[in-house]
Structure 1
Amino acid sequence: MINSLLVGIGAAFGAYIRNFLTQSSRKIKIDFPFMTLIINILGSFVLGYLTSTVTNKRMLLFLGTGICGGFTTFGTFNMELSQLWFQKRYVSCLLYFSLTYIFGILGFIIGIYI
């Protein structure tokens, strides 16, 4: 029960941070889902770092599964990717998809090594 509570509290905190960053970025007019890309890469990096450094299982559940899970946003990524596709912005769609996965994986790996 405590593990589920830790994940839930962490997820709420991570989602709050993501929402704050997303709302703050709306002031910048860019016709590309830049902030979601940054959030997912940063979240991958932090999760990689935590995976290699945090040895306490409950702390990893709170920070990794909870905060990083609530912070990163696969659903938003898919929605924005689909919007680009249906707007026939195929190059942006492919670029967004590729950058998210390539830099997400690299961020995770770099996080482990740091």
Structure 2
Amino acid sequence: MPRVRRNVPVLAVIAAGGVLGSLVRHALGSLQHGPPSWPWATLLVNVTGCLVIGALMVVLLELTAPHRLLRPFLGVGVLGGYTTFSTFAVDVQVMLVHERYGGALLYLAVTPVAALVALWLGTAITRTVLMGRGSSAEEVRA
């Protein structure tokens, strides 16, 4: 039972962050009305979420000693609620139902590639900007 009590704050910040991230995702998704020819809103959310999480993990894991609840709040909660694999899957299914097979296949290919590139860019740009080209994390912390 002590382990469950210790996890309550972590679960609470994940839930709170998830609410915030989901609200932002919903607001952006509602900007695209009707059945889209291409699910731009979902693609934008997933790619920007990956860009931000790449930058966030550099800051939290390499440059700072954050509070133990910050990573679950921001990384799992906010960005987990913001990004959406389930909507990505539904978008593909809708495109298939409407017999847009080429678009569905393209979307299936573009989304994970763009997300991985964004993650890499977020990490690389943050390291370059915050650490400088030759600096180590230890030098930046000092």
Structure 1 length-normalised TM: 0.91
Q: Give a deviation string over 1:14-66, Cα, whole Å, max 9, x none.
A: 00000111112328x84111100110000111111111111424211111100
Q: Which runs of 5+ in 1 are unaligned?
A: none
**Correspondences of 1:1-114 after superposition (within 5 Å):** 1-26=8-33, 30-55=36-61, 56=66, 57-114=68-125
Q: Which runs of 5+ in 2 are unaligned?
A: 1-7, 126-142
SS at match of 2:27: helix
Deviation beyond 3 Å, 4+ runs, structure 1? none
SS at match of 2:69: helix
| 1:81 CA displacement | 0.6
94-103 or 54-63, which deviates more = 54-63
Cα distance in 1 between the residues matched to 2:38 and 2:31: 15
Equivalent pairs: percent with the same residue?
A: 27
RMSD: 1.6
Q: Looking at CA atoms only, which structure, 1 or 2, has the larger radius of gyration?
A: 2
Cα distance in 1 between the residues matched to 2:78 and 2:33: 22
Cα distance in 2 between the residues matched to 1:40 and 1:60: 19
Structure 2 length-normalised TM: 0.74
| 1:95 CA displacement | 1.2
Alignment: residue pair count: 113
Aligned AA for 2:91?
E
76-85 or 11-20, which deviates more = 76-85
